[in-house]
Chain A
Amino acid sequence: MGEILVGSFFGQLDLEMLPGLIVLVPAIIGLRGNISVALGSRLGSGFHLGVIDFSRSWRGEVKENIIASLLLSSFMSIIIGVFAYGTCRLFGLSSMGIFYFVGIALMAGFVSGMALATLAILTVYVAFRRGYDPDNITGPVLATLGDIITIVCILGASLLMKGVVP
């Protein structure tokens, strides 16, 4: 049912107003999954290794992980925007300007990255508190909620870009 919800948001995207926007969608969703599930998995391993111990030292480790996740999100979003614009030009398809591609990708990538990083820490923390193995929980939680959060972020970013830059 979560997936159907994602799909219905997907249906709201104004694809005709922003030509080429659809090219970004699979790439940003895929990227989001790859980065945030990897983050969840690292936090889980860190927890098992004992380097992330919520009862004493965890801020430093978590900070490094979040910086990495956000850096990757921002950098890869820019790359995706450039790839999407480049392939549109290469195949001679009509497209919006590169500014739109990079702007939407960066905004959606960064905001959803922040949201999912917070969610990843929260999930690992709650799993730890309840005595569950975080490896069994972070994957499904981040994958499903990640899709929903990301598509909402893409929708928001594209509405914003369309409003700000006529």
Chain B
Amino acid sequence: MTYYHFQDIVKESIGVLILCSLIAVLTGQVLYSMQDQLIAAPVFLVFVPVINGLGGNLGSIFGARITSALHLGSITKLSDKELHKNAAMSVFLGVTVYGLLAIIIYGVAPFLHLEINIDVMKFLLIFILSGVILTIGVMCIILVTAFLSFQRGIDPDNTVIPVVTTLGDSLGILSLLGMIWVIGI
């Protein structure tokens, strides 16, 4: 007899996978509704995985630090100074990293045969602002998930990452499209 059985694995995973897929399809619909703008400026299509990937990385680092701090007792409530320092650091990291990436993409785009037919300032603004909104949004999701889990005696390490990866991707696309819509291209 084997330790793992495919029937059990399938049974235990299918619920959460269906839920995640439904959220992702709805995100896809939002993307579809803005498809014309995206085709007009394909460079933003290139951004989608980049923004999401970075948001996920920044989020998991923040999440890992918060859950460890909760376990260690160095953060106990939302008004803790320690928490504010961590949050400020993450936002600062977000601005820096997204700014840097915007510059890299701006430089790399011609080699990928992607035209950037919009104003440089608008380009930078859309990229950095959507990155910052994503970072702050992901941080809020992490804090709510971590504190709620901790209060109920659930190990936040088991809840924070799945919640962040699922909601983070949707939020990344929404913040990018939101900024394109607000600033205009």
Contact = CB atoms under 8 A, between A and B. Distances in A.
A7 B2 contact: no
A23 B28 contact: yes
Given A11-B112, A38-B13, A84 B25 contact: yes
Interface in A72-94: 72, 75-76, 79-80, 83-84, 87-88, 91, 93
A71 B6 contact: yes
Interface SS, B side:
helix
Interface stretch (B31-39, B67-75, B149-157): B31-39
Interface string A44-56: 0010010100000
Contacts of A49: 3
Contacts, number: 145
Contacts of B121: none
Given A7-B47, A64-B2, A30 B24 contact: yes
A24 B28 contact: yes
A20 B33 CA distance: 10
Contacts of A15: 35, 38-39
Given A11-B112, A87-B25, A26 B6 contact: no
Contacts of A61: 2-4
Main secondary structure of the interface of A (DSSP, over half): helix
A49 B2 CA distance: 13
Nearest to A33: B165
B9 A84 contact: no
A93 B30 CA distance: 11
Interface of A: 2-4, 6-8, 10-11, 15-16, 20, 22-27, 29-31, 33-35, 38, 42, 46, 49, 51, 60-61, 63-65, 67-69, 71-72, 75-76, 79-80, 83-84, 87-88, 91, 93, 147, 151
18 contacts: A10-B46, A10-B49, A11-B114, A15-B38, A15-B39, A23-B29, A26-B173, A29-B24, A29-B49, A30-B165, A34-B17, A35-B13, A64-B9, A68-B9, A76-B17, A87-B25, A88-B29, A93-B29
